[in-house]
Amino acid sequence: MTTWKNFWLQDSASPLMEQLSYFHDHTLMILLIITILVSQLMISLFFNKFKHRFLLEGQMIEIIWTILPTITLIFIAIPSLRLIYILDEVNNPMITIKTIGHQWYWSYEYSDFNNIEFDSYMIPTDELNKFNFRLLDVDNRIIIPFETNTRMLVTAADVIHSWTIPSLGVKIDATPGRLNQISFIVNHSGLFFGQCSEICGANHSFMPIVLESISHMNFTKWIFKMTKI
C-alpha cells in the first residue's frame, strides 16, 4: 500500500546514509527559506507594484540579490564537498568483497576467506515463499557482520550496471574493465534491499541486491559453512 513514507528517504542503516539525510535536511531548509522569501517578494510586487518601483532601478538591491545567492551556494557547497570526500574514503577495511555485474544477475567473491564465490539471482515469482518479497529477494544473499568496515570492489562482465542499496547510502557504478570501490559500515543487523540503478538491458529490473547483516559469531559460522561446500 502506498503511504506518504514511500515519498521520503529510507531509514538510515549506516553512518553514510545518516550524513546524506542530514545534508538533505540542511539543503531542504535553505530551499524552503528561499522559496518563502521570493514568494513574499513577488506577491508584494504584484499587489503593490507602484510602491516598489525603486526595485526596477535600484543599484543596491541589484548588489544584494547578487551577493545573497553566492553566500547561499557557499553554505550548500561546503557540506556537499565534505560529504563527497567522506563517501569516497576507504579506511582500513576489515572485509573486502568483490561484486561483478552480469546480464542479469550479480556475482560475489569473498577473496579474504578462501575464495568463497557465488551467484545471486532473483527468485522467480512462482518459487517465492510467504516471507519473500516479490522482485526483491534473491537465492544467495550477501552476508556481512554489522559494525564492521566493509570494502566493496565493483566491476561488470558485459555492460555498465550500478550496485545500489539506498538505506546504506551506497551507489557505485559497475563498469567493464574498471574496478571501483566503496566502503561502508552497517549499524545493526537486518536485511537491506537494493537494485541495479543503471539501465543495462531487457531484464534490468530483475537483478535485485539483498544484503544481510549478522553478528560476528554468526558470520564466522557462515564462513565455515561456505568453505566446506
Cα(13)–Cα(25) distance, rounded to whole angstroms?
17
The pTM (predicted TM-score) of the whole model is 0.78
Pick the residue with more confidence: 4 or 168? 168
The pLDDT of 198-220, averaged and rounded, is 91
What secondary structure letter does DSSP report for 25?
H
Same structural domain, 125 and 65: no
Same structural domain, 68 and 103: no
Same structural domain, 74 and 180: no
Same structural domain, 118 and 82: no
- Does residue 1 carry a pLDDT above 50? no
Same structural domain, 84 and 130: no
- Residue 203 falls within a domain, yes or no? yes
Last residue of a domain, one of 60, 88, 116: 88
The pLDDT of 21-26, averaged and rounded, is 88
- Residue 4 falls within a domain, yes or no? no
Count CB neighbours of 87 within 10 A: 17
Last residue of a domain, one of 88, 111, 133: 88
Pick the residue with more confidence: 39 or 63? 39
The pLDDT of 94-106, averaged and rounded, is 91
Range of the domain at 151: 95-228
Q: What is the pLDDT of residue 62?
A: 75
- CA neighbor of 160 nearest in space, from 139, 175, 148, 138: 175
Cα(22)–Cα(28) distance, rounded to whole angstroms?
10
Same structural domain, 70 and 180: no
Query: Which pLDDT band holds residue 6 (cuts at 50, 70, 90)?
Result: low
In the three-class reduction of DSSP (H, G, I as helix; E, B as strand; rest coil), residue 142 is classed as: strand
- CA neighbor of 151 nearest in space, from 115, 106, 182: 182
Same structural domain, 75 and 47: yes
Q: What is the pLDDT of residue 75?
A: 86
- Residue 3 falls within a domain, yes or no? no
- Residue 8 falls within a domain, yes or no? no
Same structural domain, 127 and 190: yes
**Residue range 157-203, pLDDT digits in tens:** 989 999 999 888 889 999 999 999 988 889 888 899 999 998 988 98
Percent of the chain with pLDDT over 70: 92
In the three-class reduction of DSSP (H, G, I as helix; E, B as strand; rest coil), residue 68 is classed as: helix
- Does residue 55 carry a pLDDT above 80? no
